[in-house]
Structure 1
Amino acid sequence: MTAPRYALYLAPPAESALWRFGSCVLGYDAQTGAEPAFPDLPGFDAEAWHAATAEPRRYGFHGTLKAPFRLAEGKTEPDLVAAATACAAGHHPFEMPPLEVRAIGPFVALVPAVPAPKLEDLASSCVLELEGMRAQLSSADMARRKPDRLSARQVGYLETYGYPYVLDEFRFHMTLTGPLPEGERGHAMNALADAYHASGAEVPVTLADIALYVQETPMARFRLMQRLPFGGGR
């Protein structure tokens, strides 16, 4: 039986327009398990958009802080919750920087429009402070990351932390699509930018917790298991 995978993510408040926008774009609310209707995007019918968002739908709307991992031998879920709670307590609520829709390689995401040092600091804390909870990657897991396409620094991070895009290689983003053909990418980006502006999701959002997500089986979607508040509370 395959062990669950966990991840530390940044998830906007469930009552925020940003969470509703991201969940609707993906067709999955990771907190409630609901499948909201996709937004009306010109040029994409529901079937086409369902296919375009299949990959990120498995993970739910989020920004990665510590990428998915299995627990190290001897570690338990309560151990993980305790460690993540302690990590979260070392930070204080802060405002999400302005976001914009942008293409990152073959997929489309929301990314900070300005430098976001507080997000970078939070992600570094999650990576470093929770490292003792993480099982080492198998050779198959390493191969799936295609290390031949990574820089030497990224390969080192993959071997050390189980993910290549950490610390100085970290770039915060909230994925909105899977990989798209070049001809569709620009159109999807423009349609999503219009939908984002129309959704009210640009209103400033205060971030007050780390979200612990879990994937119980390899075929299951990740779900938001618990929100762990920052020090100082909401």
Structure 2
Amino acid sequence: MTAARFALYAAPSAESPLEHFAAAWLGRSSRSGEPVAQRGMPGLDGERMAGITASPRRYGFHATLKAPFALAEAMSADGLHEAAQSFARRRAAFDLPLRVASLDRFLALVPTEPSPAVHELADECVRLFDRFRAPADAVELAKRRAAGLNPRQEACLTRWGYPYVFDEFRYHMTLTERLADPLHDEVLGHLRQVTEALLAEPFRVDALAVFEEPERGAPFVMTARYPFLS
């Protein structure tokens, strides 16, 4: 069995309508780890729906603040949780209006406009929690490089274990796999329609969530969600 990995995410509260929608869309609760009845869409059967949501279902509905990492040898899960809770107590909550968009053919919720607050949050998570991260292994590095990285992304991968940080960071809450036409446009239109009322209110970024992958390839589960100061 390979060692567990941890990640720091922005994720909705358990009672949030966005959380209920995402769990039904993806077909799994990231809190319990259990499957839930998956919300369908016209023209797609259950097998196809499961296929187009496979990766976001495994990772759980979230926006990445600190990408998945194994713990450094001197670090512990308890220490990570204590640091996450302490960090959250010093942060102020903020609103983040979201919309459905296509990112490299993946469909996701993204900010409607640039948000300095969310970039500051992500930047601090990358820096302050890096002491908990074991160096990325050869398999992880190869996986990241297979996507094709520019020089800046390669430098970030080498230093921080993840290529999409700081100026390369894009806040997003993934809803699908990469989709080809015409399915891409069909699902995009459907998601925009069914989330119109849901996204009329901004997402409240009010906590730091810790997710855990018990062993490599297993579904991620939220093990804690630490509220911000206000």
TM-score range, shorter chain: over 0.9
Residues 24 and 38, structure 2, Cα contact 8 Å, conserved in 1: yes
Name the % identity.
Answer: 40
Distance in 2, matches of 1:83 and 1:203, equals 31
SS of equivalent residue, structure 2 residue 200: coil
Q: Please show how residues 154-173 of structure 1 align to structure 2 within 5 Å.
A: 154-173=153-172
Q: Structure 2: state its 5+ residue gaps.
A: none
- How has the CA–CA distance of structure 1 residues 53 and 147 changed in structure 2, closer, same or farther, with 3 Å as cutoff? closer
- Per-residue CA distance 1:39-65 (angstroms, 9 max, x = gap): 231222221111111111110100100
SS of equivalent residue, structure 1 residue 193: helix
Superposition misfits of 4+ residues, deviation over 4 angstroms:
none
Distance in 2, matches of 1:148 and 1:50, equals 23
Distance in 2, matches of 1:168 and 1:19, equals 28
SS of equivalent residue, structure 1 residue 58: helix
Shift of 1:184: 1.4
1:228 — aligned with what?
Answer: 226
2:185 — aligned with what?
Answer: 186
Residues 111 and 172, structure 1, Cα contact 8 Å, conserved in 2: yes
1:71 — aligned with what?
Answer: 71
Bigger Cα displacement from structure 2, 34-43 vs 126-135: 34-43
Matched, 1:31 2:50: no
2:105 — aligned with what?
Answer: 106
- How has the CA–CA distance of structure 1 residues 101 and 76 changed in structure 2, closer, same or farther, with 3 Å as cutoff? same
Shift of 1:89: 2.2
Residues 208 and 227, structure 2, Cα contact 8 Å, conserved in 1: yes
TM-score by length of 2: 0.94
Distance in 2, matches of 1:193 and 1:205, equals 16
1:42 — aligned with what?
Answer: 42
Residues 56 and 177, structure 1, Cα contact 8 Å, conserved in 2: yes
Shift of 1:32: 2.5
Aligned length: 230
TM-score by length of 1: 0.93
Residues 12 and 18, structure 1, Cα contact 8 Å, conserved in 2: yes
1:213 — aligned with what?
Answer: 211
